[in-house]
């Protein structure tokens, strides 16, 4: 286990030593110079080449705000928060963008808060599960270690149950590849994949849906309230960029 930690540390150092990506500085300079179209193109190219960072999505969100594309601005601030849930500048500008679009910022729910960090619950569940397993082994195999294993089991059992239950409940959370955001001022969820079909519910900018399937220019989605229906594909964009 020690060797694994050392390896992880070395990997972190290697990552840091790579430095900023090539287009990062020119994109920021283009933004500062007011060339927002150029900045947007550079940021998008950075994302396309596999560079992801909360700062990158935050800057791209700002660029979209400058270009008056509030839907994509909200999307990119949410992407930044999906990578770094405690990223205060992104939270602040997300609220500003929603306010500018005439949308009330949504109140944070328990589910929403838990779903922000799906990896924490998965990692916690994993660690406590193995503590439980090794502690139980100790308990049964080496009776002389029972005082220690008793303490370990007393901590590991509730923590493992809690973390694994939350991990199972939130799934991939905000990092789910099926999670999409409404980028239009409003979008009608319809019973069928046709403009003439009856409207089930109208969603506002920034609301999230889960994509269940796609057919042509229509996407079959489930809303946060559990309603299912069809949305035009151009009104939504996946939170996790492809």
Considering the complex, what minimum distance in angstroms separates the CB of residue 167 from another protein? Answer: 9
Considering the complex, what minimum distance in angstroms separates the CB of residue 171 from another protein? Answer: 9
Interaction mask 9-38, another protein, x per CB under 8 A: ------xx-x-xx--xx--x--xx------
Considering the complex, what minimum distance in angstroms separates the CB of residue 109 from another protein? Answer: 20
With CA atoms as reference, report the closest residue to 74 among 183, 174, 231, 186. 183
Q: How far apart are CA 207 and CA 183, in angstroms?
A: 8
Other CB atoms within 10 Å distance of the CB of residue 134: 14
Q: Are 160 and 125 in contact (CB under 8 A)?
A: yes
Among 38, 45, 106, 126, the residue binding another protein under the rule CB under 8 A is: 126
Among 38, 45, 51, 233, the residue binding another protein under the rule CB under 8 A is: 51
Give whichever of 141 and 226 is closer to another protein, judged by the CB atom.
141
Q: How far apart are CA 48 and CA 190, in angstroms?
A: 32
Considering the complex, what minimum distance in angstroms separates the CB of residue 214 from another protein? Answer: 19
Q: Are 175 and 81 in contact (CB under 8 A)?
A: no
Please, what is the end-to-end C-alpha distance for the chain in angstroms? Answer: 34
134 binds another protein (CB under 8 A): yes
Q: How far apart are CA 44 and CA 234, in angstroms?
A: 18
Phi-psi region of 56 (alpha: psi -120 to 50; beta: other; left: phi over 0): alpha
Residues that bind another protein (CB under 8 A): 1, 4, 15-16, 18, 20-21, 24-25, 28, 31-32, 50-56, 58-59, 61-63, 65-66, 68, 79, 82-84, 88-89, 92-93, 96-97, 99-100, 102, 118-119, 122-123, 126, 130, 133-134, 137, 141, 172-173, 175, 185, 240-241
């Amino acid at each position: 286990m020690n060797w694994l930690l050392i390896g992880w540390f070395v990997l972190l150092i290697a990552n840091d030593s790579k430095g900023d990506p090539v287009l990062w500085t020119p994109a920021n300079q283009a933004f500062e110079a007011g060339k927002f179209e150029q900045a947007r193109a550079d940021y998008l190219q950075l994302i396309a080449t596999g560079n992801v960072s909360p700062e990158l999505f935050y800057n791209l969100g700002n660029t979209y705000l400058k270009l008056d594309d509030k839907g994509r601005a909200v999307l990119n601030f949410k992407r930044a928060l999906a990578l770094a849930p405690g990223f205060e500048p992104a939270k602040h500008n997300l609220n500003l963008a929603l306010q500018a679009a005439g949308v009330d910022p949504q109140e944070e729910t328990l589910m929403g808060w838990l779903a922000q960090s799906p990896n924490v619950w998965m990692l916690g569940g994993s660690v406590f599960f193995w503590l439980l397993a090794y502690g139980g082994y100790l308990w049964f195999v080496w009776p002389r270690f029972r005082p220690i294993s008793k303490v370990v089991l007393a901590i590991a059992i509730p923590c493992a149950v809690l973390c694994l239950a939350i991990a199972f409940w939130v799934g991939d959370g905000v990092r789910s590849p099926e999670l999409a955001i409404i980028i239009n001022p409003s979008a009608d969820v319809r019973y069928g994949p046709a403009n003439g079909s009856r409207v089930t519910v109208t969603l506002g900018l920034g609301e999230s849906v889960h994509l269940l399937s796609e057919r042509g220019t229509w996407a079959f989605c489930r809303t946060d309230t559990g309603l299912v229906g069809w949305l035009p594909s151009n009104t939504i964009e996946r939170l996790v960029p492809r």
